Chain A
Amino acid sequence: MRFGLNFWLGAALTALVVLAGVLAPWIAPFDPVLDADLMNSELPPDLTFWFGTDGQGRDVYSRILYGAQISLTVGIVSQVINSVIGVTLGMTAGFWGGWWDDLVNGLTNVMLAIPSLIFALAVMAVLGPGLPSLLIALGLTNWSWTCRIARSSTLSLKSQGYVQAAQTLGYADLRIMFTQILPNMMGPILVMATLGMGAAVLSEAALSFLGLGIQPPFPSWGSMLTDARQLIRIAPWVAVFPGLAIFLSVLGFNLLGDGLRDSLDPHMRTRKP
Protein backbone atom coordinates (compact mmCIF):
# COMPACT_ATOMS: atom_id res chain seq x y z
CA MET A 1 0.00 0.00 0.00
CA ARG A 2 1.29 3.43 -0.91
CA PHE A 3 0.58 6.55 1.06
CA GLY A 4 0.48 10.05 -0.33
CA LEU A 5 1.90 13.32 0.90
CA ASN A 6 -1.31 14.06 2.84
CA PHE A 7 -0.89 10.94 4.89
CA TRP A 8 2.71 11.60 5.83
CA LEU A 9 2.05 15.27 6.71
CA GLY A 10 -0.92 14.23 8.80
CA ALA A 11 1.01 11.39 10.40
CA ALA A 12 3.86 13.77 11.29
CA LEU A 13 1.53 16.31 12.89
CA THR A 14 -0.37 13.59 14.74
CA ALA A 15 2.88 12.06 15.92
CA LEU A 16 3.93 15.48 17.20
CA VAL A 17 0.74 15.78 19.25
CA VAL A 18 1.08 12.23 20.54
CA LEU A 19 4.72 12.78 21.52
CA ALA A 20 3.84 16.05 23.24
CA GLY A 21 1.08 14.39 25.23
CA VAL A 22 2.97 11.24 26.16
CA LEU A 23 6.27 12.94 27.00
CA ALA A 24 4.72 15.97 28.73
CA PRO A 25 5.69 14.90 32.28
CA TRP A 26 9.35 14.65 31.23
CA ILE A 27 9.83 17.45 28.75
CA ALA A 28 7.63 20.16 30.23
CA PRO A 29 9.89 22.64 32.03
CA PHE A 30 7.22 23.62 34.56
CA ASP A 31 4.21 22.11 36.26
CA PRO A 32 1.13 23.20 34.32
CA VAL A 33 -0.99 23.89 37.40
CA LEU A 34 1.21 24.37 40.44
CA ASP A 35 3.97 26.58 39.05
CA ALA A 36 1.85 29.69 39.11
CA ASP A 37 3.78 32.78 39.98
CA LEU A 38 1.89 36.03 39.76
CA MET A 39 5.21 37.94 39.68
CA ASN A 40 5.88 36.35 36.28
CA SER A 41 2.41 36.82 34.78
CA GLU A 42 1.88 37.83 31.18
CA LEU A 43 5.55 37.58 30.20
CA PRO A 44 6.15 37.49 26.45
CA PRO A 45 7.92 34.44 25.00
CA ASP A 46 11.60 34.23 25.98
CA LEU A 47 14.21 31.53 26.61
CA THR A 48 12.75 30.46 29.97
CA PHE A 49 9.11 30.63 29.02
CA TRP A 50 9.13 29.57 25.36
CA PHE A 51 5.51 30.49 24.70
CA GLY A 52 5.33 33.18 27.41
CA THR A 53 3.23 33.02 30.58
CA ASP A 54 -0.48 33.46 31.17
CA GLY A 55 -2.45 35.66 33.57
CA GLN A 56 -1.52 33.52 36.57
CA GLY A 57 2.13 33.34 35.58
CA ARG A 58 1.97 29.71 34.38
CA ASP A 59 4.18 28.55 31.54
CA VAL A 60 2.02 28.38 28.37
CA TYR A 61 4.40 25.87 26.72
CA SER A 62 4.06 23.38 29.58
CA ARG A 63 0.30 23.83 29.65
CA ILE A 64 0.05 23.16 25.93
CA LEU A 65 2.07 19.96 26.29
CA TYR A 66 -0.27 18.73 29.01
CA GLY A 67 -3.28 19.96 27.04
CA ALA A 68 -2.27 17.54 24.27
CA GLN A 69 -3.03 14.69 26.68
CA ILE A 70 -6.58 15.91 27.08
CA SER A 71 -7.12 16.54 23.39
CA LEU A 72 -5.81 13.09 22.51
CA THR A 73 -7.89 11.37 25.18
CA VAL A 74 -10.98 13.20 23.99
CA GLY A 75 -10.21 12.49 20.33
CA ILE A 76 -9.48 8.79 20.75
CA VAL A 77 -12.01 7.82 23.40
CA SER A 78 -14.90 9.69 21.82
CA GLN A 79 -14.14 8.14 18.43
CA VAL A 80 -13.91 4.67 19.93
CA ILE A 81 -17.35 5.17 21.49
CA ASN A 82 -18.66 6.63 18.22
CA SER A 83 -17.33 3.77 16.13
CA VAL A 84 -18.60 1.07 18.47
CA ILE A 85 -22.09 2.57 18.52
CA GLY A 86 -22.13 3.38 14.82
CA VAL A 87 -20.71 0.05 13.65
CA THR A 88 -22.93 -2.02 15.93
CA LEU A 89 -26.11 -0.25 14.86
CA GLY A 90 -25.17 0.15 11.20
CA MET A 91 -23.89 -3.38 10.68
CA THR A 92 -26.84 -5.10 12.37
CA ALA A 93 -29.30 -2.81 10.58
CA GLY A 94 -27.76 -3.50 7.20
CA PHE A 95 -27.46 -7.21 7.83
CA TRP A 96 -30.85 -7.98 9.32
CA GLY A 97 -32.91 -5.29 7.62
CA GLY A 98 -36.62 -5.20 8.41
CA TRP A 99 -38.01 -3.17 11.33
CA TRP A 100 -34.61 -2.95 13.01
CA ASP A 101 -33.20 -1.29 9.91
CA ASP A 102 -36.10 1.19 9.84
CA LEU A 103 -35.62 1.98 13.52
CA VAL A 104 -31.87 2.55 13.19
CA ASN A 105 -32.36 4.65 10.06
CA GLY A 106 -34.91 6.81 11.84
CA LEU A 107 -32.63 7.26 14.81
CA THR A 108 -29.72 8.16 12.52
CA ASN A 109 -31.79 10.75 10.73
CA VAL A 110 -32.88 12.29 14.02
CA MET A 111 -29.26 12.45 15.17
CA LEU A 112 -28.20 14.03 11.89
CA ALA A 113 -30.91 16.66 12.23
CA ILE A 114 -29.73 17.80 15.66
CA PRO A 115 -26.65 20.04 15.55
CA SER A 116 -24.04 17.94 17.30
CA LEU A 117 -22.64 20.74 19.46
CA ILE A 118 -26.12 21.60 20.76
CA PHE A 119 -26.73 17.93 21.56
CA ALA A 120 -23.38 17.69 23.32
CA LEU A 121 -24.24 20.85 25.27
CA ALA A 122 -27.52 19.28 26.37
CA VAL A 123 -25.77 16.08 27.46
CA MET A 124 -23.13 18.11 29.34
CA ALA A 125 -25.87 20.12 31.01
CA VAL A 126 -27.40 16.92 32.34
CA LEU A 127 -24.15 15.16 33.30
CA GLY A 128 -22.29 18.23 34.58
CA PRO A 129 -18.90 19.44 33.43
CA GLY A 130 -15.72 17.37 33.57
CA LEU A 131 -13.70 15.00 31.42
CA PRO A 132 -15.84 11.83 31.80
CA SER A 133 -19.07 13.57 30.87
CA LEU A 134 -17.27 15.35 28.03
CA LEU A 135 -16.19 11.98 26.65
CA ILE A 136 -19.70 10.58 26.95
CA ALA A 137 -21.26 13.66 25.35
CA LEU A 138 -18.92 13.62 22.36
CA GLY A 139 -19.11 9.85 22.10
CA LEU A 140 -22.89 9.97 21.84
CA THR A 141 -23.14 12.75 19.29
CA ASN A 142 -21.25 11.84 16.17
CA TRP A 143 -21.96 8.18 15.49
CA SER A 144 -24.57 8.79 12.81
CA TRP A 145 -22.18 9.11 9.87
CA THR A 146 -20.25 6.04 10.97
CA CYS A 147 -23.55 4.23 11.28
CA ARG A 148 -24.57 5.16 7.75
CA ILE A 149 -21.25 4.08 6.32
CA ALA A 150 -21.31 0.82 8.25
CA ARG A 151 -24.85 0.15 7.06
CA SER A 152 -24.14 0.82 3.40
CA SER A 153 -20.88 -1.16 3.49
CA THR A 154 -22.74 -4.07 5.07
CA LEU A 155 -25.41 -3.92 2.38
CA SER A 156 -22.84 -4.18 -0.37
CA LEU A 157 -20.72 -6.79 1.43
CA LYS A 158 -23.79 -8.90 2.14
CA SER A 159 -24.13 -9.74 -1.54
CA GLN A 160 -20.48 -10.76 -1.83
CA GLY A 161 -19.88 -14.41 -2.60
CA TYR A 162 -17.92 -15.08 0.57
CA VAL A 163 -20.65 -13.80 2.84
CA GLN A 164 -23.20 -16.00 1.12
CA ALA A 165 -20.76 -18.89 1.13
CA ALA A 166 -20.30 -18.42 4.87
CA GLN A 167 -24.04 -18.84 5.31
CA THR A 168 -24.06 -22.09 3.42
CA LEU A 169 -21.15 -23.26 5.56
CA GLY A 170 -23.22 -22.85 8.69
CA TYR A 171 -21.87 -19.60 10.15
CA ALA A 172 -24.16 -17.86 12.61
CA ASP A 173 -25.20 -14.28 11.79
CA LEU A 174 -22.95 -12.70 14.41
CA ARG A 175 -20.03 -14.81 13.32
CA ILE A 176 -20.51 -13.68 9.73
CA MET A 177 -20.65 -10.06 10.85
CA PHE A 178 -17.48 -10.26 12.89
CA THR A 179 -15.36 -12.51 10.69
CA GLN A 180 -16.54 -11.59 7.19
CA ILE A 181 -18.14 -8.16 7.18
CA LEU A 182 -16.41 -6.12 9.87
CA PRO A 183 -12.82 -6.79 8.71
CA ASN A 184 -13.77 -5.94 5.15
CA MET A 185 -15.23 -2.56 6.03
CA MET A 186 -12.54 -1.50 8.51
CA GLY A 187 -11.04 0.87 5.93
CA PRO A 188 -13.87 3.40 5.69
CA ILE A 189 -14.62 3.09 9.41
CA LEU A 190 -11.00 3.87 10.25
CA VAL A 191 -11.08 6.88 7.96
CA MET A 192 -14.26 8.14 9.58
CA ALA A 193 -12.79 7.72 13.06
CA THR A 194 -9.61 9.59 12.13
CA LEU A 195 -11.52 12.45 10.58
CA GLY A 196 -13.87 12.43 13.58
CA MET A 197 -10.92 12.87 15.94
CA GLY A 198 -10.30 16.30 14.49
CA ALA A 199 -13.94 17.23 14.92
CA ALA A 200 -13.92 15.91 18.50
CA VAL A 201 -10.85 17.99 19.38
CA LEU A 202 -12.62 21.06 18.01
CA SER A 203 -15.80 20.24 19.93
CA GLU A 204 -13.83 19.73 23.11
CA ALA A 205 -12.20 23.13 22.62
CA ALA A 206 -15.59 24.70 22.02
CA LEU A 207 -17.20 23.08 25.04
CA SER A 208 -14.25 23.93 27.26
CA PHE A 209 -14.29 27.47 25.91
CA LEU A 210 -17.94 27.67 26.98
CA GLY A 211 -16.87 26.47 30.42
CA LEU A 212 -18.59 23.08 30.19
CA GLY A 213 -15.58 20.96 29.38
CA ILE A 214 -12.35 20.66 31.27
CA GLN A 215 -12.50 22.74 34.42
CA PRO A 216 -9.71 25.15 35.42
CA PRO A 217 -7.01 24.97 36.56
CA PHE A 218 -6.42 21.86 34.43
CA PRO A 219 -5.01 22.74 31.06
CA SER A 220 -7.11 22.07 28.01
CA TRP A 221 -6.56 24.04 24.85
CA GLY A 222 -10.16 25.21 24.86
CA SER A 223 -10.17 26.37 28.45
CA MET A 224 -6.77 28.08 27.90
CA LEU A 225 -8.46 30.09 25.16
CA THR A 226 -11.20 31.09 27.60
CA ASP A 227 -8.63 32.33 30.10
CA ALA A 228 -6.78 34.17 27.34
CA ARG A 229 -9.86 36.02 26.18
CA GLN A 230 -9.41 38.97 28.52
CA LEU A 231 -5.69 39.17 27.84
CA ILE A 232 -5.83 39.13 24.07
CA ARG A 233 -4.75 42.79 23.75
CA ILE A 234 -1.98 42.84 26.31
CA ALA A 235 -0.68 39.27 25.99
CA PRO A 236 -1.78 37.80 22.63
CA TRP A 237 0.62 34.84 22.94
CA VAL A 238 -1.60 33.36 25.66
CA ALA A 239 -4.32 32.93 23.04
CA VAL A 240 -2.22 32.38 19.93
CA PHE A 241 -0.33 29.28 21.05
CA PRO A 242 -3.33 27.19 22.22
CA GLY A 243 -5.13 28.27 19.05
CA LEU A 244 -2.15 27.16 16.98
CA ALA A 245 -2.08 23.84 18.84
CA ILE A 246 -5.75 23.23 18.08
CA PHE A 247 -5.25 24.25 14.46
CA LEU A 248 -2.23 22.00 13.90
CA SER A 249 -3.65 18.95 15.64
CA VAL A 250 -6.99 19.16 13.84
CA LEU A 251 -5.16 19.70 10.55
CA GLY A 252 -3.02 16.68 11.37
CA PHE A 253 -5.98 14.39 12.09
CA ASN A 254 -7.81 15.53 8.97
CA LEU A 255 -4.81 15.09 6.69
CA LEU A 256 -4.21 11.67 8.22
CA GLY A 257 -7.83 10.71 7.58
CA ASP A 258 -7.71 12.00 4.01
CA GLY A 259 -4.45 10.20 3.37
CA LEU A 260 -5.85 6.96 4.78
CA ARG A 261 -8.92 7.31 2.60
CA ASP A 262 -6.82 7.90 -0.51
CA SER A 263 -4.86 4.74 0.17
CA LEU A 264 -7.67 2.50 1.38
CA ASP A 265 -10.26 3.41 -1.20
CA PRO A 266 -9.08 2.69 -4.72
CA HIS A 267 -11.99 4.68 -6.22
CA MET A 268 -10.92 7.86 -4.48
CA ARG A 269 -7.31 7.52 -5.52
CA THR A 270 -6.21 10.64 -7.33
CA ARG A 271 -2.63 9.79 -8.15
CA LYS A 272 -1.77 7.26 -10.79
CA PRO A 273 -0.36 4.10 -9.20
Chain B
Amino acid sequence: MIAPLLDIRNLCLGVAAARSVHPLVKDLSFQIMPGEAYGLVGESGSGKSVTSLAVMGLLKKPLAVSGGEIKFKGENLLSLPKRAMRHLRGNRIAMIFQEPMTALNPLSTVGRQIAEMFVLHQGKGWNEASKLSVDALASVRVPNPDRRARNYPHQMSGGLRQRVMIAMALACNPDLLIADEPTTALDVTVQAEVLRLIKDLCKERGTAVLFISHDLGVIASVCQRVGVMYAGCLVEENDTRALFDDPRHDYTRGLLGALPRLGSRTQNNRQRLIDIDSIIADRSILTKTRFIAPRTLQEGRP
Protein backbone atom coordinates (compact mmCIF):
# COMPACT_ATOMS: atom_id res chain seq x y z
CA MET B 1 0.00 0.00 0.00
CA ILE B 2 1.20 3.48 -0.78
CA ALA B 3 1.85 5.76 2.15
CA PRO B 4 -0.55 8.71 2.28
CA LEU B 5 0.85 12.11 1.31
CA LEU B 6 -1.05 13.96 3.98
CA ASP B 7 -2.11 12.06 7.05
CA ILE B 8 -4.11 13.97 9.61
CA ARG B 9 -4.72 12.02 12.78
CA ASN B 10 -6.95 13.05 15.67
CA LEU B 11 -6.37 16.71 15.00
CA CYS B 12 -7.86 18.95 17.68
CA LEU B 13 -7.64 22.67 17.48
CA GLY B 14 -9.43 25.54 19.07
CA VAL B 15 -9.41 28.99 20.54
CA ALA B 16 -7.00 29.10 23.43
CA ALA B 17 -8.76 30.93 26.24
CA ALA B 18 -7.19 31.74 29.60
CA ARG B 19 -7.10 28.14 30.80
CA SER B 20 -9.19 25.91 28.61
CA VAL B 21 -9.25 25.48 24.87
CA HIS B 22 -12.58 26.12 23.23
CA PRO B 23 -12.62 23.42 20.58
CA LEU B 24 -13.25 24.22 16.93
CA VAL B 25 -12.06 21.00 15.35
CA LYS B 26 -12.41 17.75 17.22
CA ASP B 27 -10.62 14.49 16.51
CA LEU B 28 -10.35 15.10 12.81
CA SER B 29 -8.65 12.34 10.85
CA PHE B 30 -8.33 11.89 7.14
CA GLN B 31 -5.71 10.92 4.59
CA ILE B 32 -4.87 12.19 1.15
CA MET B 33 -2.98 9.92 -1.22
CA PRO B 34 -0.38 11.29 -3.60
CA GLY B 35 -2.12 12.74 -6.66
CA GLU B 36 -5.56 12.38 -5.14
CA ALA B 37 -8.16 15.13 -5.07
CA TYR B 38 -9.88 15.21 -1.71
CA GLY B 39 -12.86 17.42 -1.06
CA LEU B 40 -13.82 18.87 2.27
CA VAL B 41 -17.41 20.15 2.41
CA GLY B 42 -19.31 21.80 5.16
CA GLU B 43 -21.03 25.03 5.95
CA SER B 44 -19.36 28.22 7.13
CA GLY B 45 -17.78 27.71 10.50
CA SER B 46 -17.52 23.96 10.32
CA GLY B 47 -13.75 24.09 10.57
CA LYS B 48 -12.68 23.53 6.97
CA SER B 49 -10.49 26.59 6.62
CA VAL B 50 -8.85 26.39 10.03
CA THR B 51 -7.91 22.83 9.20
CA SER B 52 -6.19 23.99 6.04
CA LEU B 53 -4.43 26.77 7.94
CA ALA B 54 -3.25 24.24 10.49
CA VAL B 55 -1.75 22.18 7.67
CA MET B 56 0.05 25.30 6.43
CA GLY B 57 1.22 26.06 9.94
CA LEU B 58 -0.36 29.49 9.76
CA LEU B 59 -2.83 29.42 12.63
CA LYS B 60 -2.84 32.86 14.23
CA LYS B 61 -3.26 33.44 17.92
CA PRO B 62 -5.54 32.72 19.73
CA LEU B 63 -6.10 29.72 17.47
CA ALA B 64 -3.89 26.80 18.35
CA VAL B 65 -3.59 23.09 17.73
CA SER B 66 -4.25 21.21 20.94
CA GLY B 67 -3.68 17.66 19.91
CA GLY B 68 -3.17 15.12 17.19
CA GLU B 69 -0.72 15.17 14.34
CA ILE B 70 -0.46 16.29 10.74
CA LYS B 71 1.92 14.10 8.82
CA PHE B 72 3.16 15.22 5.43
CA LYS B 73 5.28 12.60 3.66
CA GLY B 74 5.73 10.94 7.02
CA GLU B 75 6.95 14.07 8.77
CA ASN B 76 4.89 15.62 11.54
CA LEU B 77 4.34 19.22 10.48
CA LEU B 78 3.35 20.29 13.97
CA SER B 79 6.81 19.61 15.36
CA LEU B 80 8.70 20.99 12.37
CA PRO B 81 10.88 24.06 13.07
CA LYS B 82 9.65 27.38 11.67
CA ARG B 83 12.31 27.63 9.00
CA ALA B 84 11.71 24.14 7.64
CA MET B 85 7.98 24.84 7.62
CA ARG B 86 8.58 28.00 5.60
CA HIS B 87 10.57 26.05 3.00
CA LEU B 88 7.67 23.67 2.72
CA ARG B 89 5.12 26.42 2.18
CA GLY B 90 4.79 27.47 -1.42
CA ASN B 91 7.36 24.87 -2.38
CA ARG B 92 5.83 21.50 -1.38
CA ILE B 93 2.45 22.66 -0.09
CA ALA B 94 0.80 25.58 -1.82
CA MET B 95 -2.49 27.28 -1.31
CA ILE B 96 -4.95 29.32 -3.32
CA PHE B 97 -7.61 31.50 -1.84
CA GLN B 98 -11.15 32.55 -2.33
CA GLU B 99 -10.42 36.21 -3.06
CA PRO B 100 -8.41 36.64 -6.23
CA MET B 101 -9.07 40.38 -6.16
CA THR B 102 -6.95 41.01 -3.10
CA ALA B 103 -4.53 38.10 -3.13
CA LEU B 104 -1.95 39.80 -5.37
CA ASN B 105 0.32 42.66 -4.38
CA PRO B 106 -1.08 45.70 -6.22
CA LEU B 107 2.34 47.34 -6.57
CA SER B 108 4.24 44.80 -8.59
CA THR B 109 3.66 43.09 -11.90
CA VAL B 110 2.19 39.60 -11.88
CA GLY B 111 5.22 38.35 -13.80
CA ARG B 112 7.48 39.54 -11.04
CA GLN B 113 5.31 37.99 -8.37
CA ILE B 114 5.40 34.62 -10.09
CA ALA B 115 9.12 34.96 -10.74
CA GLU B 116 9.68 35.59 -7.05
CA MET B 117 8.52 32.03 -6.35
CA PHE B 118 11.33 30.61 -8.47
CA VAL B 119 13.85 32.94 -6.87
CA LEU B 120 12.62 32.14 -3.39
CA HIS B 121 12.31 28.37 -3.58
CA GLN B 122 14.58 27.28 -6.39
CA GLY B 123 17.38 29.82 -6.11
CA LYS B 124 17.00 30.95 -9.71
CA GLY B 125 18.30 34.29 -10.94
CA TRP B 126 15.78 37.00 -11.79
CA ASN B 127 16.36 36.70 -15.54
CA GLU B 128 15.73 33.00 -15.67
CA ALA B 129 12.87 33.32 -13.20
CA SER B 130 11.05 35.88 -15.30
CA LYS B 131 11.31 33.61 -18.35
CA LEU B 132 9.91 30.77 -16.25
CA SER B 133 7.11 33.02 -15.06
CA VAL B 134 5.95 33.57 -18.65
CA ASP B 135 5.89 29.78 -19.11
CA ALA B 136 3.93 29.47 -15.88
CA LEU B 137 1.38 32.00 -17.13
CA ALA B 138 1.11 30.08 -20.39
CA SER B 139 0.54 26.85 -18.49
CA VAL B 140 -2.51 28.31 -16.75
CA ARG B 141 -3.85 29.28 -20.19
CA VAL B 142 -3.48 33.01 -19.89
CA PRO B 143 -3.58 34.46 -23.40
CA ASN B 144 -0.55 36.54 -24.45
CA PRO B 145 1.50 35.44 -21.44
CA ASP B 146 4.56 37.56 -22.24
CA ARG B 147 2.46 40.71 -22.40
CA ARG B 148 0.32 39.74 -19.42
CA ALA B 149 3.42 39.14 -17.31
CA ARG B 150 4.07 42.86 -17.42
CA ASN B 151 0.57 43.68 -16.20
CA TYR B 152 -0.31 44.85 -12.74
CA PRO B 153 -3.10 43.02 -10.89
CA HIS B 154 -5.57 45.87 -11.37
CA GLN B 155 -5.32 45.40 -15.13
CA MET B 156 -6.68 41.88 -14.86
CA SER B 157 -10.10 40.39 -14.31
CA GLY B 158 -10.95 38.15 -11.37
CA GLY B 159 -10.63 34.98 -13.41
CA LEU B 160 -7.24 36.00 -14.75
CA ARG B 161 -6.02 36.88 -11.29
CA GLN B 162 -7.11 33.52 -9.97
CA ARG B 163 -5.16 31.93 -12.82
CA VAL B 164 -2.14 33.96 -11.77
CA MET B 165 -2.61 32.72 -8.20
CA ILE B 166 -2.75 29.16 -9.49
CA ALA B 167 0.39 29.77 -11.52
CA MET B 168 2.15 31.06 -8.39
CA ALA B 169 0.93 28.17 -6.27
CA LEU B 170 1.94 25.55 -8.82
CA ALA B 171 5.19 27.29 -9.81
CA CYS B 172 7.37 24.95 -7.79
CA ASN B 173 5.36 21.81 -8.59
CA PRO B 174 4.11 21.24 -5.05
CA ASP B 175 3.00 17.81 -3.86
CA LEU B 176 -0.15 19.22 -2.29
CA LEU B 177 -2.35 22.10 -3.36
CA ILE B 178 -4.84 23.42 -0.85
CA ALA B 179 -7.65 25.21 -2.64
CA ASP B 180 -9.79 27.12 -0.17
CA GLU B 181 -13.02 27.89 -2.03
CA PRO B 182 -11.05 29.01 -5.08
CA THR B 183 -14.07 29.67 -7.25
CA THR B 184 -16.59 31.18 -4.87
CA ALA B 185 -15.82 34.75 -5.85
CA LEU B 186 -15.95 34.05 -9.58
CA ASP B 187 -18.98 33.97 -11.79
CA VAL B 188 -20.25 30.65 -13.00
CA THR B 189 -18.67 30.44 -16.45
CA VAL B 190 -15.26 31.52 -15.18
CA GLN B 191 -15.73 29.14 -12.29
CA ALA B 192 -16.05 26.18 -14.64
CA GLU B 193 -12.88 27.20 -16.50
CA VAL B 194 -10.86 27.64 -13.33
CA LEU B 195 -12.07 24.30 -11.94
CA ARG B 196 -11.13 22.54 -15.15
CA LEU B 197 -7.74 24.24 -15.02
CA ILE B 198 -7.05 23.11 -11.45
CA LYS B 199 -8.20 19.61 -12.27
CA ASP B 200 -6.14 19.29 -15.46
CA LEU B 201 -2.97 20.84 -14.08
CA CYS B 202 -3.00 18.73 -10.95
CA LYS B 203 -3.62 15.57 -12.90
CA GLU B 204 -0.80 16.46 -15.30
CA ARG B 205 1.68 17.10 -12.53
CA GLY B 206 0.48 14.52 -10.06
CA THR B 207 -0.34 17.15 -7.47
CA ALA B 208 -2.71 16.13 -4.71
CA VAL B 209 -5.49 18.59 -3.97
CA LEU B 210 -7.27 19.37 -0.75
CA PHE B 211 -10.32 21.09 -2.10
CA ILE B 212 -12.37 23.05 0.38
CA SER B 213 -15.82 24.20 -0.57
CA HIS B 214 -19.37 24.43 0.57
CA ASP B 215 -20.55 23.72 -2.92
CA LEU B 216 -21.22 20.03 -3.44
CA GLY B 217 -21.51 20.48 -7.17
CA VAL B 218 -18.01 21.90 -7.37
CA ILE B 219 -16.65 19.14 -5.18
CA ALA B 220 -18.32 16.48 -7.29
CA SER B 221 -16.68 17.75 -10.45
CA VAL B 222 -13.16 17.81 -9.03
CA CYS B 223 -12.69 15.33 -6.22
CA GLN B 224 -12.38 11.57 -6.01
CA ARG B 225 -13.15 11.41 -2.32
CA VAL B 226 -15.18 13.69 -0.09
CA GLY B 227 -15.23 14.35 3.61
CA VAL B 228 -18.22 16.12 5.13
CA MET B 229 -17.49 18.36 8.07
CA TYR B 230 -19.98 19.57 10.60
CA ALA B 231 -19.23 21.53 13.76
CA GLY B 232 -15.57 20.62 13.64
CA CYS B 233 -16.06 16.91 13.10
CA LEU B 234 -15.73 14.75 10.05
CA VAL B 235 -19.20 13.20 9.96
CA GLU B 236 -18.92 11.21 6.79
CA GLU B 237 -16.25 10.26 4.33
CA ASN B 238 -16.67 8.31 1.12
CA ASP B 239 -15.86 8.15 -2.56
CA THR B 240 -17.59 11.00 -4.29
CA ARG B 241 -19.99 8.85 -6.28
CA ALA B 242 -20.90 6.66 -3.32
CA LEU B 243 -21.48 9.71 -1.13
CA PHE B 244 -23.85 11.25 -3.62
CA ASP B 245 -25.68 8.00 -4.28
CA ASP B 246 -25.99 6.86 -0.73
CA PRO B 247 -25.45 9.54 1.91
CA ARG B 248 -25.36 7.89 5.29
CA HIS B 249 -25.29 10.77 7.73
CA ASP B 250 -28.31 12.98 8.38
CA TYR B 251 -26.29 16.07 7.80
CA THR B 252 -24.97 14.88 4.47
CA ARG B 253 -28.49 13.98 3.46
CA GLY B 254 -29.52 17.49 4.48
CA LEU B 255 -26.76 19.06 2.43
CA LEU B 256 -27.68 17.05 -0.63
CA GLY B 257 -31.36 17.75 -0.14
CA ALA B 258 -30.64 21.46 0.00
CA LEU B 259 -29.36 21.39 -3.57
CA PRO B 260 -31.90 22.40 -6.18
CA ARG B 261 -32.15 19.71 -8.79
CA LEU B 262 -33.17 20.12 -12.39
CA GLY B 263 -36.70 18.83 -12.88
CA SER B 264 -37.33 18.36 -9.21
CA ARG B 265 -40.32 20.65 -9.24
CA THR B 266 -43.60 19.61 -10.73
CA GLN B 267 -46.47 21.96 -11.14
CA ASN B 268 -48.96 20.63 -8.65
CA ASN B 269 -46.65 18.62 -6.59
CA ARG B 270 -44.11 21.14 -5.39
CA GLN B 271 -41.11 19.68 -3.75
CA ARG B 272 -39.46 21.78 -1.09
CA LEU B 273 -35.73 21.95 -0.67
CA ILE B 274 -34.64 20.64 2.65
CA ASP B 275 -33.51 23.46 4.85
CA ILE B 276 -31.12 23.02 7.66
CA ASP B 277 -31.52 25.19 10.72
CA SER B 278 -29.27 28.02 9.66
CA ILE B 279 -27.30 28.79 12.81
CA ILE B 280 -24.43 26.49 13.54
CA ALA B 281 -24.98 24.77 16.86
CA ASP B 282 -23.30 26.06 19.97
CA ARG B 283 -20.29 23.81 20.25
CA SER B 284 -20.15 23.92 24.00
CA ILE B 285 -23.40 21.96 24.32
CA LEU B 286 -22.37 19.34 21.82
CA THR B 287 -21.13 16.10 23.21
CA LYS B 288 -18.94 13.49 21.66
CA THR B 289 -21.82 11.40 20.51
CA ARG B 290 -24.54 13.98 20.05
CA PHE B 291 -22.91 16.69 18.02
CA ILE B 292 -25.73 17.01 15.57
CA ALA B 293 -28.66 16.78 17.92
CA PRO B 294 -29.58 20.46 18.36
CA ARG B 295 -30.25 20.88 14.71
CA THR B 296 -33.32 19.55 13.05
CA LEU B 297 -33.90 18.51 9.51
CA GLN B 298 -37.21 19.41 8.02
CA GLU B 299 -38.08 16.90 5.38
CA GLY B 300 -39.48 18.35 2.23
CA ARG B 301 -43.23 17.82 2.35
CA PRO B 302 -45.40 17.34 -0.71
Contacts and interface: CB of A to CB of B under 8 A. Distances in A.
B91 A170 contact: yes
Contact of B103 (A161, A172, A179, A184): A161
Interface string B105-139: 11110000000110011000000000000000000
A80 B212 CA distance: 47
Given A168-B56, A169-B117, A171-B120, A162 B104 contact: yes
Contact of B90 (A164, A170, A183): A170
A180 B106 CA distance: 9
A165 interface: yes
Given A161-B97, A161-B99, A179-B116, A169 B106 contact: no
A93 to B, nearest CB: 16
B168 interface: yes
A162 B58 contact: no
Interface string A148-182: 00000000000011101111111110010001100
Contacts of B241: none
A165 B104 contact: yes
Contacts of B102: 160-162
B86 A165 contact: no
B105 A169 contact: no
Given A161-B102, A165-B103, A170 B120 contact: yes
B88 interface: yes
Q: Which of A161, A172, A179, A183: most chain B CB closer than 10 A?
A: A161
Nearest to B98: A161
Contacts of B168: 165, 169
B87 A170 contact: yes
Interface in B203-234: none
B94 interface: yes
A167 B105 CA distance: 12
A144 B302 CA distance: 69
Given A162-B104, A162-B105, A184-B105, A167 B58 contact: yes
Contacts of A164: 58, 97, 103
Contacts of A183: 105, 107-108
A170 B88 contact: yes
B169 interface: yes
Nearest to A175: B120
Q: Which of A169, A180, A183: most chain B CB closer than 10 A?
A: A169
Interface in B54-91: 56, 58, 86-91
Interface in A177-196: 179-180, 183-184
Nearest to B105: A162
A162 B90 contact: no
B155 to A, nearest CB: 16
A170 B105 contact: no
Contacts of B95: 165, 168-169
Contacts of A166: 105
B182 to A, nearest CB: 12
Given A162-B104, A184-B106, A184-B107, A167 B89 contact: yes
Contacts of A172: 86
Contacts of B120: 169-171, 175
A17 B168 CA distance: 47
B104 A169 contact: no
Contacts of A175: 120
A168 B89 contact: yes
B176 to A, nearest CB: 12
Contacts of A184: 105-107
B165 interface: yes
Contacts of B89: 167-170
B97 A169 contact: no
B136 to A, nearest CB: 13
Contacts of B106: 162, 184
Contacts of A170: 86-91, 120-121
Contacts of A161: 97, 99, 101-104
Nearest to A172: B86
B105 A180 contact: yes
A165 B56 CA distance: 11
Contacts of A165: 95, 97, 103-104, 165, 168
A170 B95 CA distance: 10
Contacts of A167: 56, 58, 89
Contacts of B107: 183-184
Contacts of A160: 102
Contacts of A179: 105, 108, 116
B117 A162 contact: no
B105 A168 contact: no
A58 B140 CA distance: 73
- The 9 lowest CB-CB distance pairs between A and B, nearest first, are A170-B90, A161-B102, A169-B90, A170-B89, A168-B95, A161-B103, A165-B103, A162-B105, A183-B107
Interface of A: 160-162, 164-172, 175, 179-180, 183-184
